[in-house]
Amino acid sequence: MQACSQIEEQVSEKDFQTWILELGARSFDGETLTLEAPFGLFRDRVKQSFLPIIENAVAVSAKKRCAVVVIVGQFVAAAGANRARGNHRPVAATKTPVAKPKPLREKTFETFVVGEGNRLAYLGARQLAEQSAGEGGNPLFLYGGVGLGKTHLLLAVGQALRASGKRVLYYQGEDFTRRMVEALQGGRMESFHREFRSADALLIDDVQFLAGKRRTQQELFHVFNLLHEAGKPIALASDRAPDELENLERGLQSRFAGGLLADLGPLDRELRLRILKGKLSEAGIHLDDHILERLAVQLQGSVREIEGLVSRLRAASSHQSMPLDDGVVETMITPYLTRRGPIDLDVVIDTVAWVHGLTRDELLSRDRSRRVAWPRHIAAYMCRKLTAASLPEIGHALGGRNHTSILRAVRSVAERQTSDAAFSGRLQQMEKMLGTSPGLRGRGAMAGVAAPPPGH
């Protein structure tokens, strides 16, 4: 990309990697280019140090002076695609680009971190890529929440197949629709079909965006049958299982479900820690072990959250006057602690165990020493206060204890909390770690956990 190449020549390699490649091109109307930054301090640094260089590069690329605006928005980093040499995306994008298969970004099986929640998806993807998938493994349908690795696995399949000389088509759902509409309007449907007949494999991401588009689904049905009957690998990804996709033709649902269905579950603490360590290592960032452990407990979202945090830490670490100590890290992680729903019991238990220097297994064990029993009481209290779980459900989560034991534990902690200000402060700190807000707590008034009456 012309503009990026010019900028790269005028800034240091570290600045280019840290600041320029992390900008996303949001829009260009011929007069104004709008770029997105991941957060406010990042935006301010770009405007202060690099905006004139960007404006000059864009002017050369567009052959006229253009305004460049840097905003903070719903940022989608372009770095993954941009860092592949020779595959830079033009800053001044055309107004109405022709939909084409997406280029395969550098995502491999070796860089995918495997855990219990994604092992089946990983094994299914590798099997398909090695073209050893039997009748039950093709097509591969990956599904799960945002940022759990579906796209990574799709791209890894594509990289592996392409390395073996295969012609791989990779589309996102909306791009497939746009490509089909352009061919239909331009009278080029024969060319559209020919492209798929000559393909060796088909990958489609974000299949959920095809729901409700009848003509698009008809074309995909035709393309799917064409490739599948020829025994060619097909992999698809969606945020939901096929039978949960509303307004999706039954024929497609049946074919999607006819291969290997593999869901990617939420990241557990161990997997979050391993991913975090890997991303930090790639970014050349070192954090103390106790900070890493805390972040693995606090980051309850997706891989994208982890990548976002690493991006913020990298920006902060570029300032020599800002060492990455506990205070800075606490500031950097704040945007990721806002909860959008109820807190999970396991999250509370993991957090309480970590705060008290215990393993999860220790907390759930039958050990009745005060070193373990009191944190267990606190975990019961926090579960009761911050979730909507019943006493029996909490007891089950805490190692199979009965509801009477849980009630006693909750009341003992509530009693101390009302009389010990320091202890109350520590509880509040744990709630802050969990990212709670009053409107999202399961039992804001703590119904049923008042201190026991005298003599109880």
Are residues 392 and 412 part of one domain?
Answer: yes
How far is Cα 23 from Cα 37, in angstroms, rounded to an integer? 5
Q: Out of 247, 264, 281, pick the residue that ends a domain.
A: 264
How high is the pLDDT of residue 104? 53
- Output the domain CATH number for residue 380: 1.10.1750.10
Q: Which residue has the higher pLDDT, 84 or 310?
A: 310
pLDDT per residue as tens digits for the range 56-102:
888 888 888 888 988 875 433 333 333 333 333 333 333 333 444 55
Structural domain contains residue 92: no
Give the number of other CB atoms < 10 A from CB of residue 174. Answer: 15
How far is Cα 397 from Cα 405, in angstroms, rounded to an integer? 13
Least confident of 22-31, 63-72, 328-337, 409-418: 328-337
Are residues 166 and 237 part of one domain?
Answer: yes
Are residues 133 and 256 part of one domain?
Answer: yes
Judged against a pLDDT cut of 70, whether residue 133 lies above it is answered with no
Are residues 174 and 288 part of one domain?
Answer: no
Q: How many CA atoms lie within 13 A of 219 on its CB side?
A: 23
Residue 112 to residues 107, 282, 359, Cα–Cα distance (Å) = 8, 13, 26
How high is the pLDDT of residue 194? 84
Query: What mean pLDDT do residues 377-387 have?
Result: 90
Query: What mean pLDDT do residues 290-296 have?
Result: 82
Which tokens in the block code for residue 258? 């006819």
How high is the pLDDT of residue 211? 82
Q: How many CA atoms lie within 13 A of 261 on its CB side?
A: 13
How high is the pLDDT of residue 22? 76
How high is the pLDDT of residue 342? 59
Q: How far is CA 427 from the centre of its chain?
A: 29
- Output the domain CATH number for residue 69: 3.30.300.180
How high is the pLDDT of residue 322? 59
How high is the pLDDT of residue 131? 77
Are residues 124 and 32 part of one domain?
Answer: no
Judged against a pLDDT cut of 50, whether residue 31 lies above it is answered with yes
Query: What mean pLDDT do residues 107-129 have?
Result: 90
Single-letter code of the amino acid located at 453: P
Residue 394: Cβ-neighbour burial (10 angstroms; 0-12, 13-18, 19+): buried
Least confident of 7-16, 171-180, 240-249: 7-16
How high is the pLDDT of residue 450? 39
Query: What mean pLDDT do residues 7-28 have?
Result: 77
Q: Out of 292, 319, 337, pick the residue that ends a domain.
A: 337
Banded pLDDT at 389 (limits 50, 70, 90): confident
Query: What mean pLDDT do residues 386-402 have?
Result: 88
Q: Which residue has the higher pLDDT, 76 or 225?
A: 225
Are residues 260 and 127 part of one domain?
Answer: yes
How high is the pLDDT of residue 81? 35
Flag whether the pTM goes above 0.75.
no
Residue 93: Cβ-neighbour burial (10 angstroms; 0-12, 13-18, 19+): middle
Are residues 231 and 171 part of one domain?
Answer: yes
Q: Out of 248, 264, 280, pick the residue that ends a domain.
A: 264
pLDDT per residue as tens digits for the range 251-281:
888 888 888 999 998 888 888 888 888 888 8
Structural domain contains residue 450: no
Please state whether the peptide bond connecting residue 97 to the residue before it is cis, i.e. omega within 30 degrees of 0.
Answer: no
Q: How many CA atoms lie within 13 A of 255 on its CB side?
A: 19
Highest mean pLDDT among 62-66, 184-188, 241-245, 431-435: 241-245
How high is the pLDDT of residue 378? 94
What value does the mean pLDDT of the chain take?
78
Judged against a pLDDT cut of 50, whether residue 437 lies above it is answered with no
How far is Cα 363 from Cα 351, in angstroms, rounded to an integer? 11
Structural domain contains residue 106: no
How high is the pLDDT of residue 235? 94
Are residues 292 and 197 part of one domain?
Answer: no
Judged against a pLDDT cut of 80, whether residue 454 lies above it is answered with no
Query: What mean pLDDT do residues 176-198 have?
Result: 83
How far is Cα 371 from Cα 383, in angstroms, rounded to an integer? 19
Judged against a pLDDT cut of 50, whether residue 379 lies above it is answered with yes
Judged against a pLDDT cut of 60, whether residue 416 lies above it is answered with yes
Percent of the chain surpassing pLDDT 70: 81
Structural domain contains residue 315: yes
Encode burial over 190-229: b for 16+ CB neighbours within 10 A, e otherwise. eebeebbeebbbbbbbbbbbbbebeebbebbeebbeebbe
Are residues 195 and 276 part of one domain?
Answer: no
How high is the pLDDT of residue 192? 82
Are residues 257 and 136 part of one domain?
Answer: yes
Q: Give the count of domains, the chain.
A: 4
Judged against a pLDDT cut of 90, whether residue 234 lies above it is answered with yes
Are residues 281 and 218 part of one domain?
Answer: no
Residue 68 and residue 54 in contact, taking contact as beta carbons nearer than 8 Å: yes
Q: Which residue has the tokens 């199979």?
A: 400
Residue 117 and residue 149 in contact, taking contact as beta carbons nearer than 8 Å: no
Structural domain contains residue 24: yes
How far is Cα 217 from Cα 180, in angstroms, rounded to an integer? 10
Q: Which domain holds residue 373?
A: 345-440
Are residues 145 and 210 part of one domain?
Answer: yes
Mapping DSSP onto H, E and C, the string for the chain reads: CHHHHHHHHHCCHHHHHHHHCCCEEEEECCCEEEEEECCHHHHHHHHHHCHHHHHHHHHHHHCCCCEEEEEECCCCCCHHHHCCCCCCCCCCCCCCCCCCCCCCCCCCCCCCCCCCCCHHHHHHHHHHHCCCCCCCCCCEEEEECCCCCHHHHHHHHHHHHHHCCCCEEEEEHHHHHHHHHHHHHCCCHHHHHHHHHCCCEEEEECHHHHCCCHHHHHHHHHHHHHHHHCCCCEEEEECCCHHHCCCCCHHHHHHHCCCEEEEECCCCHHHHHHHHHHHHHHHCCCCCHHHHHHHHHHCCCCHHHHHHHHHHHHHHHCCCCCCCCHHHHHHHHHHHHCCCCCCCHHHHHHHHHHHCCCCHHHHHCCCCCHHHHHHHHHHHHHHHHHCCCCHHHHHHHCCCCCHHHHHHHHHHHHHHHHHCHHHHHHHHHHHHHCCCCHHHCCCCCCCCCCCCCCCC
- Output the domain CATH number for residue 293: 1.10.8
Judged against a pLDDT cut of 90, whether residue 141 lies above it is answered with yes
pLDDT per residue as tens digits for the range 337-358:
654 455 778 888 888 887 787 8
Structural domain contains residue 101: no
How high is the pLDDT of residue 157? 93
Structural domain contains residue 376: yes
Residue 207 and residue 172 in contact, taking contact as beta carbons nearer than 8 Å: no
Structural domain contains residue 446: no
Nearest CA among 415, 350, 358, 357 for reference residue 381: 415
